[in-house]
Amino acid sequence: MKERLEALRTEALQELGHVANPQQLNDLRVKYLGKKGALTEILRGMGGLSAEERPVIGQVGNDVRAAIEAVIEEKQAVFQQAETENRLRAETIDVTLPGKRLPAGAVHPLNKVAQEIEDVFIGMGYTIAEGPEVETDFYNFEALNLPKDHPARDMQDSFYVTDEILMRTHTSPVQIRTMKAMNGKTPVKVICPGKVYRRDDDDATHSFQFIQIEGLVIGPNIRMSDLKGTLLQFAQQMFGMQTQIRLRPSFFPFTEPSAEVDVTCAQCGGRGCRMCKHTGWLEILGCGMVHPRVLEMGGYDPDEVSGFAFGMGVERIALLKYEIDDIRHFYTNDLRFLSQFVRM
């Protein structure tokens, strides 16, 4: 039996020396060391040996098994190393190649213009006030000198949720909320940015939803000249220091006197062109001195304080600033249009 074991070792090691791949290695492991392998078959005959021979043959059998397993493990390590090297070569990444550049996003032009407007007024000492987009009829109309039967309500077709709740048609309700929150204290100096809603048909210059920024100043001895100086500084900051403004008499229920504000056309410098319809001026906002009735509704005594207010549409400012001919470009999400503002 000892000779059979030694012959088995020689045969196994010789075959293992010619193994070319992991599959062959596994087949030889099963052939010699498996449950039905050659070594197991020989060792089953140990039952017929004497008590003195069994330990000797058992030790030889263990030595043969150890020798075969050692060669198998060595071969396995070689194959695994070769597989790892092949995978590393196949999966190599050339780090010197330029990466794929992701497209850069940018602030939407309307948000950009709104931020610029806010920065101008913050630089003049204003703070930002915000309020709900779903408003009560009281704050949206009645507190602004627009009672339920007032014909001026027809100027603002509205989206009503109930008879007393609607989508706000301007950010003026924020002014009333701010005045009430101040409990009659002065000074009040705020701008009120936000989305507003009106039942307008979408066209080149109108939208049912747009962004509005309004301003409110209240204090002792606030004059129309203060309003004009404020708006002149704003216009020059937005459109250039060469810009001039003019105020034209107008009507708003919540201000008295009221005015429309024009700026000199940025395209022609006031000489007249197609953009300004050859007038040299472009309308940008409405303004006026706060109506005494509105001051009273906000908790102030119009005999003690006065104030001015103004309001502008961000889309209109953006149209003029960037010389865009259709407001709908801002809402159609056309990357060809929006990408122009990435570096502006």
Q: Which residues participate in the annotated binding site for Mg(2+)? A: 256
Residue 186, class by beta-carbon neighbours within 10 Å (0-12 exposed, 13-18 middle, 19+ buried)?
Answer: middle
Alpha helices in 91-171 (DSSP H): 109-123, 137-140
Alpha helices in the chain (DSSP H): 2-16, 22-33, 38-43, 53-90, 109-123, 137-140, 172-182, 224-239, 292-297, 314-322, 335-338
Residue 226 sits at the vertex; the CA angle it makes with 221 and 227, to the nearest 5 degrees, is 120
Q: Look at the alpha carbons of 71, 74, 80, 86 in this order and tell me if their dihedral is positive or negative.
A: negative
Residue 207 structure tokens: 């939208």
Largest pairwise CA distance in the chain: 129
* Residue 71 to residue 318: CA distance in whole angstroms: 80
Q: Phi first, then psi: what are they for 286, rounded to 5°?
A: -120, 155
* Residue 68 to residue 29: CA distance in whole angstroms: 8
| C-alpha pair distances (Å), 294 with each of 73, 80, 174, 212, 308 | 94, 86, 13, 20, 11
Residue 164 structure tokens: 């007393």
Tell me which DSSP letter residue 37 carries: S
Query: What one-letter code names the amino acid at 12?
Result: A
- Cite the annotated binding site by residue number: 256
**Could you tell me which of 216, 189, 218, 192 has the C-alpha nearest to residue 125?**
189
* Residue 83 to residue 77: CA distance in whole angstroms: 10
